[in-house]
Structure 1
Amino acid sequence: MIVGISVILLSIVIERKKKTSDDLEQLSTTIFKETSQLKRRLKIVEEELMLEAPLPKRSATQPSSKGVHQILVSQVLALHTQGYNVAQIAERSSLTPSQIEQIIVTGGRV
């Protein structure tokens, strides 16, 4: 009788482990599929954001009407506060040393 009860309890434990293993495998598969779908959607969104309307062409002699872009101003000020000198900042940006000095002196109010 003890052997019979032991066999029944053992079969229940083995059955639960198998069910748990199957559930875990199904969950892993579902997570993998959802992750793949999210990656595809993210790639599509990134591609859409990369597509921009073409900018109107300016002649080489026509100066920029807006001056230095605010992102460059922020970059210059951040590099300056990190201890970079004008020459090092010029290497890291597309600005001339005189533009960089003007941004530093005016505190970004160009």
Structure 2
Amino acid sequence: MPINGGNKVEFSTILIIIGIICIVASFFLKDTSKKVEQDLEDLSISIYQETNSLKKRLKIIEEELLLEPNFAVKQSTIDKKSFEIHNKNAQLTHSSQTNAANNTQQINEILVNQVIQLNKQGYPVDEISKMSTLSKEQILTILKNGGAR
């Protein structure tokens, strides 16, 4: 009988020793989750920096498109949304000018092309005038000249 009881004590002692060894070993092993967290943080920062860089480049390109008067966009059709987006940008640049100044001002080539395309799509002059910063007279002049200056 003492032999069976001794086996139980030896077995439990072995299990306790194995548990203590595992606990001590866990302190010395590297924690891989910290490396994964660091990699994720680095990736996040990299994506943020790249996004900011792309935004700056896009802003520069948009400014060049709005400032360059001889730039022509070759499009077969123009949808109403892109025309309205351009008009919002054009309104910001032309908001401080009066209607008289608008009549004598040189009209951006992109706007001229959009007016012509909208007319080809069947929009009436009144509708084009509402969607653009141009007066009806300017629109009629553009259509009469066919976009020529």
With normalisation by structure 2, the TM-score equals 0.40
Question: Is there any run of 5+ residues in structure 1 with no aligned partner, and where?
Answer: 1-18, 53-57
Higher relative contact order structure (alpha carbons within 8 Å, sequence separation ≥ 6): 2
1:101 & 1:40 partners in 2: Cα distance? Answer: 42
Which amino acid in 1 is paired with 2:104?
Answer: P
Cα RMSD (Å): 3.8
Q: Which has more helix, going by share of residues?
A: 2
1:99 & 1:86 partners in 2: Cα distance? Answer: 10
- Going from structure 1 to structure 2, the CA distance change for 1:91 and 1:42 (only over 3 Å counts) comes to same
With normalisation by structure 1, the TM-score equals 0.51
Cα deviation, 1:43-84, whole Å, max 9, x if unaligned, reads: 44437x76x9xxxxx9967933xx322122012112112221
Partner of 2:104: helix, strand, or coil? coil
Structure 1 position 95, deviation (Å): 1.3
1:79 aligns with 2:118: yes
Percent identity between matched residues is 30
- Going from structure 1 to structure 2, the CA distance change for 1:29 and 1:76 (only over 3 Å counts) comes to same
**Match of residue 96, structure 1, among 135, 139, 149:** 135
Partner of 1:4: none
Question: Is there any run of 5+ residues in structure 2 with no aligned partner, and where?
Answer: 1-31, 68-96
